Amino acid sequence: MPLLKRSDDGTLWRGNERFDPWTAAWVADDAPAGLTTVGAREGVKLVMAGSRVRRIPVGVIGPREPKPRQKEVAYEVGHALGQLGLQMACGGKGGVMEAACQGNLEAGGQPIGLLPDEEWTGANPYVAIPIATGIGAARNAILARACTALIAVGGGYGTLSEIAYGLQWRRLVLALEGAPEVAGAVTCSDTDAAIDRLARHLLALEGTDSTAETEAEAPVRLTS
């Protein structure tokens, strides 16, 4: 079923259902006339531009010492999230986290850094909202729990733990550029594929787009 928007105020419609940005769910309503078709990405951007929307973070995870291409992809992911108006969160340190924060900040985002450190000053220079947890690597569990989805760019044991936590708590986990292969995570060919998949997830549109990535095990969408 096509994703629609109202031409006057940007409200999204799917048949006779309206997307409620506060509950992140479709609600029954009578669709008005004069609707135009939009894609999932544009739909997310419209939703996030509203004044009443729950900004549940999207997590970006990956190694502190990434390969050059992983760093480039992390920047692309962070930048794309910022362009859509999505709230990004990460571990707040270097490598993939720093590259993603830089891309997000330069696209107008306000990236959150959930730091393992006891002081906010341990954040990379692109973190806009540093949160010092003082709990070390245990903050990986908080990041996975707090985010509606995780995008992994490369990674080792730390990233693997975040992926495992995310899957355990039934988050959507997208994998790029050599991220650990775990049953349930969705391997994406590139940044565009990952962002498209994320947009469908955020708008509860999984299964409506024939270009969706092949999944080893379909993740279950959360509505709360």
- The domain that contains 102 carries what CATH number? 3.40.50.450
Asked if residue 207 is part of any domain, the answer here is: no
Same domain, 25 and 132: no
Shared domain for 143 and 193, answered yes or no, is yes
DSSP reduced 3-state for 79: helix
Token couple for 89: 């969160």
Query: Does residue 100 share a domain with residue 14?
Result: no
Least confident of 6-10, 19-23, 119-123, 130-134: 6-10
Q: For strands 17-20 and 25-28, give the pairing.
A: antiparallel
Q: Which domain holds residue 115?
A: 58-202
68 and 21, same structural domain?
A: no
Q: What are phi and psi of 27, to 5 degrees?
A: -125, 145
- Mean pLDDT, range 37-50, rounded to an integer: 92
Per-residue confidence (pLDDT) for residue 7, from 0 to 100:
56
Cα separation, 145 vs 94, whole angstroms: 21
How many secondary structure helices (H) and strands (E) does the chain include?
6, 12
The answer to whether residues 31 and 112 belong to one domain is no
C-beta of residue 127 within 8 angstroms of C-beta of residue 134: no
My answer on whether 97 and 182 are in the same domain is: yes
Pair (150, 179) in one structural domain: yes
Domain identity same for 148 and 92: yes
Are 32 and 70 found together in one domain?
no
| Pair (31, 9) in one structural domain | yes
Closest CA to 95 of 40, 153, 145: 153
More confident residue, 169 or 35: 169
C-alpha separations of 63 from 74, 87, 122, 156, 223 in Å: 10, 21, 16, 6, 29
| Residues pairing with 61 in the sheet | 152
What confidence score (pLDDT) does residue 218 get?
38
Tell me the average pLDDT across 192-213.
Answer: 77
State whether residue 201 is helix, strand or coil: helix
